[in-house]
Chains A and B, each alone.
Chain A
Amino acid sequence: MRIGIVCPYSWDVPGGVQFHIRDLAEYFIRLGHEVSVLAPADDDTPLPPYVVSAGRAVPVPYNGSVARLNFGFLSAARVRRWLHEGAFDVIHIHEPTSPSLGLLTCWAARGPIVATFHTSNPRSRAMIAAYSILQAALEKISARIAVSEYARRTLVEHLGGDAVVIPNGVDVDFFAKAEPKAEWQGETIGFIGRIDEPRKGLPVLMKALPKILAARPRARLLVAGRGDEEEAVESLPAELRSRVEFLGMVSDEDKARFLRSVDLYVAPNTGGESFGIILVEAMSAGAPVLASDLDAFAQVLDRGEAGELFPNEDADALADAAVRLLGDPGRRAELRERGSAHVRRFDWATVGADILSVYETVTAGAAAVAEDERTTGLWGRLGLARD
């Protein structure tokens, strides 16, 4: 099958959606499909052979922050050329509601279009204003995928219609087979995420830490992620600061070894999560997980069956649960076991097959993807295009 995938965010900036697309593309290539990914990238960044650059993304203020987006005449032309040269059986657009490549492709293409909605953005003001234009483009999507039941609910609320739920994929064995590192073992609590991004919840963990360290005198906190380390430990009493270790940004291999080594993985995120891939990675590596009870997290953890949940932003509850888990090896072993079994449904073997099922469902009997002349050419707009 000839598959075209559209990535809305810059390929050179690491991020969840980019990694998902990379793994998905490589999975399909291994199965023998032809895959081309269209992504924003600087023209001089080295790209894997299957990625086509759609030009540089432009930073613009959008939806309350600065987003790097692709739009305008040049990007639209590149999208059309990619569609034309690719002659795809199906195209898979990620994040079609962001005003970037996804929307441009929706606008310019016709034929079987699959779209994955990753985030669960509330409808923005701009989207309401552009609603009729957006609706006309989104109507062309033949199959919608939401990454979680939670994301599906928001999607249905804001755009109507329905979607199938297919979770994000993880290479489970990559994590399950990583070698633990001795220096990261021994009553260690792990945290991975941006240090200076409050929504990742490190401040909540820092607030809970004195209580945890008081009850477990040998415990240590290991933090992997970018950000200002001084600022992160500011709220902590000086004598406890030595028990927090910062590892900075870690490679994929070290991340897997990190998750294999820690005795407890804590995800204190306070919001803005639509899936929680890190929890799946932690469970794959066999780390017992303690997470805030966000909708998305609760679902990934099977309502608390595969990992423990604490009330969101409640540092006391987090501390109590962490102390209890660190003192109960039996319970941790149980969580490891349940997590490892539960996580198989997120393996690429399952997720990739499901996504392929979606492709096959929408391409059955349908013509291949083509440029939509009705909306792109002047003749089309005048109603003179040959159909």
Chain B
Amino acid sequence: MSAGVLSVHAKPNRAATLILSWALFACGIALYFYVSHARHRDNPEDRVMPTIEQMARGMYSAALHPAEDDEVQTETGNFWQDFPHSMLWKDTKASSRRFLYSMLLLIPAVLLGLHMGLFPYVGVFFLRFILFFDKIVALSLLPILFIAFGIDELSKIMLIVIGVAPTVILDTFNLTRGVPPEQIVKAFTLGAGDFDVAYRVVLKQILPRVLNSIRLNLKAVMLFLFAGEMIASTDGLAYRIALLRRHMGMDVIVPYVLWVALLLFVVDWGMRFANRKLHPWFHE
């Protein structure tokens, strides 16, 4: 007898997997356009739920019309020439730059966690402080950061780092402590020094898990990035969303939100792919 649909032993076939995994997307999109259509039938000027045509126009304008502050103000009709001058590209570039700097600043956080986990004195020195720091709500530090670092890039990047780094440090610390002591002793008996053990034995073993931990924190990175951009910025994806909110520009806000989700999805997929390629021995 085959297992029922709700049975623990059920094995969805390929077609069922494909249909079920996309079903909620299809339902969500259908529901949105049904409600949007109904609202527009009652009020053709409705701006809360733009139609697909309105969103396509909004996105076309954001992606192909030159940004207001761009020196080039004429369209050529060629996508590859127009896109680099568009609002969408400039916002994406600005947010990506902040995102990239923040990610690079997480490297020292990983190294600190590694050293804390491996070298007892480093652990003793930092652990209590990091545990305390981890409990501070990063957004509550935003005014202090703006006062201390001004409203330029540094304060926004610091907000991301302060928000995410303690979690990454503690995750790396715990992963380091999780390496079997037998392996560390073994490495020493094979002639390794302290830093050989740290970088050639422990870091290499925990790196795939550290990357997974950073992947899980990508949303937090974006959250702090958006908070910083929404409050004090003159460009960036979140700045644009905040700006358009004032004009009820839902025809651009919705595509922007989907664009951000897509970018994050691509980054996450890229990191997962790199993790698999760089660490073929690692099985999640």
Pair from one complex: no
Residues of A within 8 A of B (CB): none
Residues of B within 8 A of A (CB): none
